[in-house]
């Protein structure tokens, strides 16, 4: 996993989010963990169109105006993609768990800055 490359991709996602949502998105943060925020397993590649791919995702933590970027394991990424085919644009329990876990990780990160 090339963290510098992932940060560049997140910076691009941040610019797109600012263009789309304006001042709602004030900053960005990358959850640089090798643990999946969905299930707690190791982040790994998923099979996608005959090759291996990493699942880079982001969501806006609206309370703080932060675009949080993260990676998922292949199992969680596959589940989300399959669920999206069945119920497009519908947030699942897995999405809610991921967001809750990432918000807690972001709050922990902020506490380390205050220490």
| Token duo for residue 35 | 């643990």
Percent share of the chain, pLDDT over 90:
77
Count how many residues are written for the chain. 115
- Looking at per-residue pLDDT, the higher value among 49 and 39 belongs to 39
Q: Which of 36, 47, 32 has the alpha carbon at shortest distance from 1? A: 32
Task: Quote the pTM value.
Answer: 0.90
Using CA atoms, how far apart are residues 85 and 57, in angstroms rounded to an integer?
A: 17
pLDDT digits (tens, 9 = 90+) for 40-61: 999 998 888 888 888 999 999 9
The three-point CA angle 109-18-89 to 5° equals 85
Calculated CA dihedral for residues 13, 25, 62, 98, nearest 10 degrees: 20
Total domains present in the chain: 1
Which range of residues forms the domain containing residue 19? 3-114
């Amino acid at each position: 996993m090339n963290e510098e490359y992932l940060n560049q991709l997140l910076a691009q996602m941040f610019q797109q989010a600012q263009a789309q949502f304006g001042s709602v998105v004030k900053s960005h943060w990358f959850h640089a963990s090798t643990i999946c925020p969905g299930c707690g397993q190791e982040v790994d590649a998923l099979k996608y169109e005959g090759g291996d791919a990493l699942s880079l995702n982001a969501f806006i933590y609206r309370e703080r105006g932060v675009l949080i970027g993260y990676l998922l394991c292949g199992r969680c990424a596959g589940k989300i993609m399959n669920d999206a085919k069945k119920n497009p644009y519908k947030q699942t329990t897995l999405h809610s768990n991921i967001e809750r876990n990432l918000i807690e990780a972001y709050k922990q990160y902020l506490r380390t800055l205050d220490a």
